Amino acid sequence: MMAEANIERIKSAIETQQQDDEALSLYWEFIQTETQSTTPYAPEQVRDALIEAYRLLYTAWQARKHIQAFDELIEAACHRRFSDVGVLSLLAKGEFAAARYQNALKMYDRLLTLKALDAETYQQLKFACFHHRPFDDLSNLLLQRCLKEYPQDRTVVQFMFSQYLLTEKYKYSPFAPTVYAQILEQEPQNLTVRSALCECYYRQGKYEQAIAVGEAGFEYEKHHSDILATLAKVHYTSGEYGRVVTYCRDVLTKHPGRTDVLVLLATVYARNALTTNEATKYYCQALQCVPQDLFIRQALFRSYLRKLQVDEAIAESEQIVTGLYDQYGSSHREYRATLHDMISEYERAIRRAPDDIALYLITAKLYEAIGHFHKALIYYRTLLELPLERTMLYKLIELLEKLATFQVQNPHLYLYLGLLYHKIERAEEAKLAFRAAMYADLDEHEVEDILVRHDRSIWQYPAVLVILAHHRIVTKDILDGLLQTFRLPDREDWEGVLWVLQELYEIDDLLFELRQIFTWETFPEIYPQILPILGNNGSRLAIQLLRELLGHANEHIRMATLHLLFQMTQPLAQQCLTEVANENPYPDIRLELAGYYAQQETEQATYHLMNMLHDEDANIRLYVAQSLQGRDVQVKLLHDVLFTERHPLVKTEIIRLFEQTQEPEERLYLAHLLNDLTAKRYQEGSSGAGKMYTRLKQLIGQTEKPEETTLLLTLIQAIGQLHLEQGMYSLNTIAVSDRSPAIRLAAIQALGQIGSQLAMPLLQNFLHDASESQELRLAAEQALDRIVTPD
């Protein structure tokens, strides 16, 4: 909103005709805002001021050559629908004189709207349109309006005609017929104009007018090619195909390479399903111009096939299938309908030429493409039943190989190829062909007919055996052949055999055969696949085989087998583990089993661990004894173990098991153990106490190994903590005679823990014996205190 003070300043500047920078800035602001509705002045005064602002601003900018500013001023006048004829004419003439025709045309447009064009400005308008480049919508619209005002102006008509011919956008536009008709009124023999008008009427759907204009041109030139081509299209739209053919041939006589006419003629022939040599010629010529035209290509296909030009027909049908697939996809109705039509054509051709194997193959291929695999199978099988000589066998193989280069969805094709390769003794290719169908779900009857009823020499290929087994045709010979594959070096055959064996794991006969491969040198490479077969079977024989594998020389195989048994829930598998825990010759297996039971907090697991205390490997016995700590163990079952155990650390862990028992009579067993140990050490020589004492001293004095020291300390501490008076004799002996200060100290402390007054004389001797260390005397003093003043 412009301030009232600025309005006053603008009015003053206009009255004095000022054109300095400040005044011009005010004029431009005034023009941009046009705030007459907010000023105290009358509308007439504001309008007059606005007219003067345009005039003063334009003349000043013109004098100063502010060219860029003119575009904005012209746009402001158009946008705000400025309507003063004098100023508009001033701007139009000024821009015209400066050859700024775009701006001039905008001003002429305003003057035309106001019906204010005089003779001079009209001529300038035409001149500006003629010289403005490129010819655009504004020029076209202005000249159309000029013709409405001055319909007899020939210069405008001629100029518009020339521009329409040069620009496709306007050549057949709605206004074009008006221009062409005016020229024809003066020049009826102008066939260029007549041809354009005829085409224009055709595109607008005015067929009768197109025919009238075109046929009138024949008075001046009987076979004008453009008019003939247009009339051919008109008659094609009307269904008058005979006249279309006549016109197209007339055009092609003079212009044999004209694309649109060739295509139109071929389309007419295709619509009538013509298969003559002439029609075929036109189909081929048209397809060179429009190779993507599937309608014409289908006509060419039919033409070839009905003349039994099979190779050419097959080439065209492959082009059609590819084009349809790219355009629609394989599930579209148009795709499937077209392929059905081609199949019908091929089946008619088969009845005419029943010995042409190429027809059978392509028909089967088309059935595959629409998903009718069983019908495709019939054609493939028919070929195999034909009495083919060796030459024909090679021909059939060649055609099947050609089909195999496509994305064949019917795996039976490879089954047939394998059979044919085998017939001509190309074993390596037969092997590869059978492999291509090895994992496929084939028709049961086909498998039986081709692979069972045929010469069984094809069973030499492992892939054939895999196919048979996969389709539940399993005999002793087949199983034996499958397993014999592992004696061969081809790993791809191995994979096929392993795959089918995994599918056959419920067949018990297979397990007898599998037993034979356990000693094979290849087994370390295939056991990851064989073990799941046994595990999934789960029968007594399968578990027996797994038990045998636990004794395999290969550590990885043993461990994989054991872990498989861990995962099995069958009672037979658990029984196997129990037996193996005591009988397996490999310590790693027995140790792994100990770990397995150690993770289970059950009575059954404890029972198994107790049994494993008799294992021949000390490390396993030690692990088991440690695993039993904290469990509810019946220590009375450990008496024999404790006395027969020779490893000090294992014996130490067993002593700790006795410590945790709540049964006093079992705890007492520890004292008996120590006493018996002392007695057994002195069975040699005299039974006198002196010699026994000396032998015990020697025995204890030689206990220098750390694990033996640990054993003795553990036993001493256990007797002291459990207050076992029955062990005091042995404790007295050790406290007096042992060469290890640590063991003597433990024996003295144990005597104090027992708290029996029978130990007091021995302890008092320690206090008065000056030869003993201060540490031992202090320990003896503390032990006496515990006896005298018990807790």
pLDDT, residue 338, reads 93
pLDDT, residue 423, reads 85
Most confident residue range from 207-216, 435-444, 741-750: 207-216
Residue with tokens 């158009």: 78
Model confidence band, residue 341 (pLDDT cutoffs 50, 70, 90): very high
pLDDT, residue 704, reads 53
pLDDT, residue 40, reads 44
The token pair at 237 is: 């739209």
pLDDT, residue 532, reads 80
pLDDT, residue 683, reads 47
pLDDT, residue 397, reads 80
- CATH number listed for the domain at residues 656-788: 1.20.930
Which letter, b or e, does each residue of 333-361 get, where b requires 16 or more Cβ atoms within 10 Å of its Cβ?
eebbebbeebbebbeebbeeeeeebbbbb
Q: Report the 3 state secondary structure along 422-488.
A: HHCCCHHHHHHHHHHCCCCCCCHHHHHHHHHCCCHHHHHCHHHHHHHHHCCCCCHHHHHHHHHHHHC
pLDDT, residue 348, reads 92
The pLDDT of residue 56 is above 90:
no
SS3 content of the chain, % helix, strand, coil (to 5): 75, 0, 25
Name which of 6-15, 308-317, 344-353 the model is least confident about: 6-15
Residue-wise pLDDT for 388-400, tens only, equals 777 777 877 877 7
The pLDDT of residue 699 is above 70:
no
Q: Are 147 and 153 in contact (CB under 8 A)?
A: yes
The pLDDT of residue 86 is above 90:
no
- The whole-number average pLDDT for the span 304-331 is 90
Look at residues 392, 378, 320 and name the one whose alpha carbon lies nearest to residue 350. 378
Look at residues 424, 510, 426, 508 and name the one whose alpha carbon lies nearest to residue 465. 510
Model confidence band, residue 349 (pLDDT cutoffs 50, 70, 90): very high
Model confidence band, residue 317 (pLDDT cutoffs 50, 70, 90): very high
Model confidence band, residue 687 (pLDDT cutoffs 50, 70, 90): very low
Higher pLDDT, 572 or 78: 572
Cα separation of 591 and 595, whole Å? Answer: 6
Look at residues 774, 771, 775, 735 and name the one whose alpha carbon lies nearest to residue 752. 735
pLDDT, residue 376, reads 76
Model confidence band, residue 515 (pLDDT cutoffs 50, 70, 90): low
- The whole-number average pLDDT for the span 4-8 is 64
pTM: 0.43
Look at residues 482, 446, 449 and name the one whose alpha carbon lies nearest to residue 464. 482
Q: What are the residue ranges spanned by the domains of the chain?
A: 656-788
Percent of the chain with pLDDT strictly greater than 70: 87
Q: Are 540 and 510 in contact (CB under 8 A)?
A: no
Amino acid letter for position 83: S
Model confidence band, residue 685 (pLDDT cutoffs 50, 70, 90): very low
Cα separation of 752 and 788, whole Å? Answer: 10
Residue-wise pLDDT for 323-340, tens only, equals 999 988 888 899 999 999
**Residue 386 CB neighbour total at 10 angstroms:** 13
pLDDT, residue 87, reads 80
Cα separation of 406 and 401, whole Å? Answer: 9
Model confidence band, residue 342 (pLDDT cutoffs 50, 70, 90): very high
The pLDDT of residue 691 is above 60:
no
Q: Are 416 and 450 in contact (CB under 8 A)?
A: yes
Q: What is the mean pLDDT of the chain?
A: 79
Name which of 11-20, 206-215, 445-454, 531-540 the model is least confident about: 11-20
Q: Are 451 and 427 in contact (CB under 8 A)?
A: no
Residue-wise pLDDT for 626-662, tens only, equals 888 888 888 777 777 777 777 878 878 877 777 777 6
Higher pLDDT, 537 or 238: 238
Cα separation of 664 and 629, whole Å? Answer: 18
